[in-house]
Amino acid sequence: MSARGVRRFVADLLAGRRPRSFRADDTDVGPLRAAITLRAARPGSTAPGDEFVTDLHRRLAAAQTDQDVQPLPLPRPVVDGTRRRLVAATSIAAAAAAVGAVADHALTSRSPAPSRPGGQQTLLPNTGEWRTVSTSADLAEGGVRGFDLGTVVGFVARTGGALRAVSGVCTHLGCRLALNAPARRLDCPCHTTSFALNGELLRYQLAVPPPALPQLEVRETQGVVQVYAPPGPVV
Amino acid sequence: MGRTGRGRAAAARAGAGTGGGADVPAADAPQLRVVSGEFYPDWEAVYRDNVDRVYRLMFAKVGNRPDAEDLTAEVFLAALRPLRVSASAAEVRAYLFATARTVLAGHWRRTLGREITRLTDDDELELVPADDAVSSAAVGSSAAVGRAAAILAELPELYRRILELRFLDSCSVREAAAALGVSVAYAKVLQHRALRRAAQLLEVNR
């Protein structure tokens, strides 16, 4: 084995230098791997430096300016069975509707992505029923009411004579939205995300804009306001 | 060595343009448009959201900052240039991971001629969490700490101590020898033997 090469490699590693190349043989692999594993566990040494992050951003920006248009080579098919992918697959149906509308959207474009046309979906449960969420009298013009049906939580609003109901769960990580009545918007308590009463995204601090809130079917009949939701509550 | 980050980055850039060199995954499934309601608005968002994760993954696999920086740059220069079209955040991360795996393999081929470390499916789960609640700070580092702790726990006392002093506590060989009450020469021998034993344990744990 290349004892000298391994020794130098480890010395460089411990000194924080770039290790020098050498022709390693099979018996070197284990000790080198062990050295890397141990060195990577040193406290406080794993985050990238600000200077590096800024510099690479600048280089990438320069590389973007002269890019030619190529389709994104997608990773291999998403069906080779890791746990993550199985989990992900359950949301295929939910994502499918939004996908067509954004298929031509370029990642490299600078146009704002949050308001994807057609991105707002309507919740249509497999098994649903009209469930009362308010009396008509309690929901005057300009009014908003929250509801919790056990299976679905949301808000229903009457604006310009029209009724609209949206989900009351943030599309980022599922925190329950709170009605901010003076501002006429729905605020997420977790990450400074806000939605309009019609479900549109108003503001967010995240790297990725969360989708608009799903809508619910809503109707007014015989003095009550109802939304189409699964029966329940589920216990 | 004369191997600068700038020079290698330029090579990666040239490779990405021709479809050679960077060796990115083939576009064999263009019909796939799966999952995650989240989409990146532009390449800068992709970069901001992932640079930290990719760097940490690379650092865990090479153990030093200069190489980790170069390899991270290589991943983004190779991946972002052709990155276009709507892809979900999960797809983008899977693609970055696939690129990172290729870049890391190339690094070992160039420098040592043996694949010392590789990005595994477990690493991918860290980069592409099913839930964004997994903070990027946890990527790489927590797994690395766990692996190191597991190995150290199984070593004989003296081997464990020399590796802790040298690798985790940043002691010089002289300082480590003093702490253990042995000669500098023996501390070197100890470190060498301890690494070999640690390598055997790593092999068993794989």
Tell whether B43 and B123 lie within a shared domain: yes
Q: Which of A46, A172, A201 best tests the B interface by mutation, with the highest count of B CBs <10 A?
A: A46
Question: Percent of chain B beyond pLDDT 70?
Answer: 69
Tell whether B125 and B181 lie within a shared domain: no
Closest CA–CA distance from residue A78 to any residue of chain B (Å): 8
The answer to whether residue B46 is domain-embedded is yes
The answer to whether residue A7 is domain-embedded is yes
Tell whether B100 and B165 lie within a shared domain: no
pLDDT at A232 over 50: yes
- Give me the domain span that covers residue B56: 5-10+38-139
pLDDT at A79 over 70: no
Tell whether B127 and B149 lie within a shared domain: no
The number of folded domains in chain A is: 2
Tell whether B135 and B195 lie within a shared domain: no
Q: What is the pLDDT of residue B40?
A: 79
Q: What does the mean pLDDT of chain A come to? A: 76
The answer to whether residue B20 is domain-embedded is no
Q: What is the pLDDT of residue B199?
A: 93
The answer to whether residue B28 is domain-embedded is no
Mark which of B139, B173, B189 sits at the end of a domain: B139
The answer to whether residue A183 is domain-embedded is yes
Tell whether B133 and B163 lie within a shared domain: no
The number of folded domains in chain B is: 2
Q: In A, residues 22-51, which contact B (CB 8 Å cutoff)?
A: 22-26, 28-43, 45-49
Tell whether B45 and B71 lie within a shared domain: yes
- Give me the domain span that covers residue A127: 122-229
Tell whether B64 and B113 lie within a shared domain: yes
- Answer yes or no: do A84 and B125 touch at CB < 8 A: yes
Considering only CB atoms, A28 lies closest to which of B86, B114, B145, namely B114
Q: What does the mean pLDDT of chain B come to? A: 76
Q: What is the pLDDT of residues B14-59, one digit of tens each?
A: 333 333 333 334 333 332 222 344 777 778 888 888 999 999 999 9
- The answer to pTM > 0.80 is no
**Three-state helix/strand/coil letters over chain B:** CCCCHHHHHHHHHHHHHHCCCCCCCCCCCCCCCCCCCCECCCHHHHHHHHHHHHHHHHHHHHCCHHHHHHHHHHHHHHHHCCCCCCCEHHHHHHHHHHHHHHHHHHHHHHHCCCCCCCCCHHHHHHHCCCCCCCCHHHCCHHHHHHHHHHHHHHCCHHHHHHHHHHHHCCCCHHHHHHHHCCCHHHHHHHHHHHHHHHHHHHHHHC
Q: What is the pLDDT of residues A3-44, one digit of tens each?
A: 889 999 999 999 999 999 999 999 999 999 999 999 998 887
The answer to whether residue A35 is domain-embedded is yes
Mark which of B124, B139, B154 sits at the end of a domain: B139
